[in-house]
Amino acid sequence: MAHPETLALIARIREEFPAFRIIPKAESRLNRAIHWALFAITLGGQRSYLTAYSTVLGDTLYTWAGWEQMTGEEQVILLRHEWVHLRQRRRYTTLGMAWLYLVPLFPLGLAYGRARIEWEAYAETLRATHELKGRAAARDPALKRQIVGRFTGPAYGWMWPFPRQVGRWYDQVLEELDGADAN
């Protein structure tokens, strides 16, 4: 049974994207193929694509294995992140989004396009965390390590291998949130 706050957000997303649907990633042949391709390309570094990451392709959110066990707050935070990707796809088109995600500058190691796309989505993750779980949760060093690690590690193909820069971006987003709280 889905959480009421999750259902409410799904309804809002469907107002903007009527074809939006949620499917378990493991049930998707395409996602299983992507999993093995990422596993090979990253030399085994990305081994949890099916089990620890959700992915939007088209109007479909493919959820990871733990989606059903997440709290309503956690699901809403994840949905808000993925909603950003839905809007990006509309803004850039499907082909443009794929190109930005996969090409500039290099597919692995320095993927500026992918990093820009994910910076926008992870900023929403931080906003949602701050709103739903509080300032302390958004400032949790473990969350910062997790997000910085996603940018600099194999999960996204080492898309931006500059941990200090990603850390400064993270801190800047939090400063903006704190500034908004002060107003």
Q: Each residue of 108-165: pLDDT tens digit?
A: 788 999 999 999 999 999 999 999 999 999 999 999 999 999 999 999 999 999 999 9
pLDDT value at 2 more than 90: no
Q: What is the domain count for the chain?
A: 1
In residues, how long is the chain? 183
Are 153 and 45 within 8 A, CB to CB?
Answer: yes
pTM (two decimals):
0.93
Work out the number of other CB atoms within 10 angstroms of the CB of residue 15.
9
User: Two tokens at 91?
Assistant: 């803004």
Q: What share of the chain is helix, strand, coil (3-state, %, to 5)?
A: 70, 5, 25
For the chain, what is the largest distance between any 2 Cα atoms, rounded to a whole number of angstroms? 49
Q: Each residue of 21-59: pLDDT tens digit?
A: 999 999 999 999 999 999 998 889 999 999 999 999 999
- Alpha-carbon Rg for the chain, nearest whole angstrom, is 16
Are 3 and 71 within 8 A, CB to CB?
Answer: yes
For the beta sheet containing 21-24, the strands, ordered from the edge strand earlier in sequence to the opposite edge, are 21-24, 60-63, 55-57
Q: 119: domain range? A: 4-182
Return the pLDDT at 182: 72
C-alpha distances in Å from residue 115, one per residue of 65, 66, 123, 124: 25, 25, 12, 14
Return the pLDDT at 30: 95
